[in-house]
Amino acid sequence: MRLLRRQSRQDPQPSDEGDSPVIELRGVGLTYPGPPPVEALHPCDLTVRRGEFITVVGPSGSGKSTFLNVAGLLDSPTSGRYLLDGIDTAALPDRERTALRGRRIGFVFQSFHLLPHRSALENVALAMLYTGIPRAQRLVRARAALDQVGLGHRTGAVPGRLSGGERQRVAIARALVGRPSLLLCDEPTGNLDSANAASVLGLLDDLHGAGMTVLVITHDPEVARRGHRTVTIRDGRLHP
Ligand SMILES: Nc1ncnc2c1ncn2[C@@H]1O[C@H](COP(=O)(O)OP(=O)(O)OP(=O)(O)O)[C@@H](O)[C@H]1O
Ligand SMILES: [Mg+2]
């Protein structure tokens, strides 16, 4: 699908573009400095191939969000090597890591993180504010992303006038509009009732069916079953 095409023009050259995994972790760990230091993610290995749908489960405090922050380039690991789309992220200066994150990763969080006074269309279009894409084009792409998540008829609504599931679908449209390689979701249905959760999960299934690589963190065994592979984290240790 058109929205899933990757934008790679300005990224550093990956070592072996095309066939490289989306995520490749080799001995990647993270210790928060403290004091006292917290080894939130013990050194771990994980490979996520293009088009996989992976779920990550584990009890509260086990290190799921820490793992997502590392995979999403929000935090740098304190050990190991992380290749995203074949690009060695440790070697990148901060600005390039940020740019890589912006182009390759879409985030969806439990609490939506939408701007309350902006319409759905503006919330999605704002994700492209610093891309150099002209405003008219940003609005066209935002509208297409909202169409894709089934909200083409609600583009003018502010978040307060949308259901929880609709809000999360706006957040998913915002994550997709930059045409990322990878969609990272931290408890995407955690604030939703079962009907709204089902609509969001159905959308994630559709996106995966269209070729998107999806990684979902969840407490919910029902959500975990949607993944084609489930990875467990316990006490900061990843069990692929
Ligand atoms: N900035 C930080 N500094 C020090 N320790 C932290 C920091 N952030 C998280 N931790 C600790 O790291 C561990 C893992 O936290 P994390 O947020 O990854 O857990 P989680 O599995 O996402 O939990 P939840 O399901 O409750 O969201 C916890 O022991 C937590 O207290
Ligand atoms: Mg968490």
Residue recorded with tokens 């509009």: 177
Atom of ligand 1 nearest to the CA of 63: 18
Residue 107 has which token pair?
């985030």
Residue recorded with tokens 């959308």: 203
Q: Is residue 175 part of a domain?
A: yes
Q: Is residue 8 part of a domain?
A: no
Going by alpha carbons, the residue nearest to atom 3 of ligand 1 is: 32
Using a 10 angstrom Cβ sphere, with 0-12 exposed, 13-18 middle and 19 or more buried, the burial of residue 91 is: exposed
Q: Which of 55, 60, 62 to mutate to test the pocket of ligand 1 (most atoms within 8 A of CB)?
A: 62
Residue recorded with tokens 């269209």: 210
pLDDT tens digits, one per residue of 186-234: 999 999 999 999 999 999 999 999 999 999 999 888 899 999 999 999 9
Ligand nearest to the CA of 39: 1
Instruction: Give CA–CA dist 72/100, Å, rounded.
Output: 10
Average pLDDT score over the chain? 90
Atom of ligand 1 nearest to the CA of 41: 14
Q: What is the CATH number of the domain that holds 39?
A: 3.40.50.300
50-65 residues labelled b (16+ CB within 10 A) or e (exposed)? bebbbbbbbeeebbbb
Give the domain extent around 116: 23-239
Q: Is residue 14 part of a domain?
A: no
Number of domains in the chain: 1
Ligand nearest to the CA of 61: 1
Instruction: Give CA–CA dist 164/147, Å, rounded.
Output: 17
pLDDT tens digits, one per residue of 8-61: 445 555 544 457 899 999 999 999 998 999 999 999 999 999 999 999 999 999
Q: Is residue 10 part of a domain?
A: no
* CA distance from start to end of the chain: 30
Q: Is residue 6 part of a domain?
A: no
The pLDDT of residue 7? 43
Whether the predicted pLDDT of 156 surpasses 90? yes
Q: What is the pTM of this model?
A: 0.90
Under the banding of pLDDT at 50, 70 and 90, the label for residue 91 is confident
Residues at Cβ < 5 Å from ligand 2 ion: 64-65
- Pocket, ligand 1, Cβ cutoff 6 A: 32, 38, 40, 58, 60-66
> Any bridge partners for residue 88, and if so which?
83
